[in-house]
Amino acid sequence: MDEPQIYARLTDIFQDVFDEESIRLTPGLSAKDVEGWDSLTHIRLILTIEKAFKIKFSTSEIGKLEDVGDLVALIEARA
């Protein structure tokens, strides 16, 4: 799976989890940029991503994520 495919899939997931159709993902997008992205929503987001991509992240991998670019790189490395 290449980067544009990952971004397309993640965009659908983000729009669903945050119930916001206007979310557009960029590599620098982070929790501070999205209204409602709190710790509980973060857990729901990660679980939804793991299920959609059929991968499992470790706690340390999740802790190192700073923005969407980091998330895409991690998914790309696993896919």
pLDDT digit string, tens, across residues 2-14: 999 999 999 999 9
| Domain layout of the chain by residue ranges | 3-78
As a whole number of angstroms, the distance between CA 23 and CA 74 comes to 21
Q: Under a CB-based contact definition with an 8 Å cutoff, are residues 68 and 29 in contact?
A: yes
As a whole number of angstroms, the distance between CA 68 and CA 7 comes to 9
Sign of CA dihedral 76, 36, 38, 40: negative
Identify the H or E element spanning 17. helix 3-17
| CATH T-level assignment (fold) for domain 3-78 | 1.10.1200
Low-confidence stretches of the chain (pLDDT beneath 70): none
